Amino acid sequence: MTRIGRNKERLLIALVVFVLSLPAAGRAATVGNTAETLGAAGRFSVGLEYDGITDRDLKWKSGSITMASASTTVSDSIPPAGGSIEDMELESGRLFLKGTIGVRPDVDVYVKLGTADADWKMTEKEPGQPDSRTEFNGDRDLAFGAGVKARVYQTPGGLRVMADAQYLRYDVEGDLITDGTEFDQEFLDELRASDPGATFSSTKKTKIQEWQLALYVNKTVGRFSPYGGVKYSDVKADLELDGNGQYLGEPFTLTIDAESEADGNFGLFLGTDIQVIPNRLSVNIEGRFMDETAFTLGASYRF
């Protein structure tokens, strides 16, 4: 048995104590900017939007942690038996360039390309141990998406019933901080308590996929085009930590694979487009509630 094999129990205890869960940065997407379709096949628009999420509750589904050397592999669940992960909250900012083209007078398709960041915090509870607070400070990374918007029905008075469906995807890397100490440093300190020459480093990434469906009503009144409705969003997040190092002269790897999802799926939204130059330039403001607290500011130019 190698030295790292003889010490696997001690390493696994250290990992379970110091490797806390990595929650997802799930979030719902902007519905408007603009709320109505372009009105003609072949017509297109270009828009810019900032999407700010000030509070989104998340829930942990499952997770595992695995340490492996040349001769030994040990795994455990996250959180460990008897523990729980609670109070997961997300804050995030996204900036998108949005291109839209009309495929029919009542149907548009669009693509989004931009960047997103994500900061979250959570609490891990374990029997007989004080609560531990973890924060994830995400970098700004590439984000992209696509969707379709359709006018389902319009009354003689100009009230439109609209539907919107979209998909978003982005990967966010960042730093994991537990009770004020960065994860890699805390884990390395634990290893060096018995091996001063131990090494360790890791990358942390949250991979996010989101689907959203929205149904709403919209009407143009002068320069304003207010809208409001309901939405359903499903967020799936694959969480990964990939690390490697050396302990007591033996190389080892450390991986975390986990899944989180939005705690609530149904929400409400209200917003309006404001025509700055009629049928050309408009600005947009939107608020979203219930499943998240979020807002969007945007502008769009039609060609």
Q: Does residue 234 surpass a pLDDT of 60?
A: yes
Q: What pLDDT does residue 32 have?
A: 59
Q: What pLDDT does residue 7 have?
A: 36
Q: Does residue 5 surpass a pLDDT of 60?
A: no
At 6, is the pLDDT very low, low, confident or very high (cuts 50, 70, 90)?
A: very low
Per the model's pLDDT, the better-predicted residue between 90 and 42 turns out to be 42
| Confidence (pTM) | 0.81
**What's the mean pLDDT in 93-121?**
93
pLDDT tens for each residue of 197-222: 999 999 998 887 888 999 999 999 99
**What's the mean pLDDT in 108-133?**
90
> How many angstroms from the chain centroid is the CA of residue 2?
41
**Distance, CA of 212 to CA of 197 (rounded, Å):** 49
Residue 13 makes CB contacts below 8 A (sequence gap 6+) with none
Burial class of residue 33 (count of CB atoms within 10 Å of its CB; 0-12, 13-18, 19+): buried
**What's the mean pLDDT in 243-248?**
94
Q: Say which CATH topology domain 3-302 has.
A: Lipocalin (2.40.128)
How many residues appear in the chain?
Answer: 303
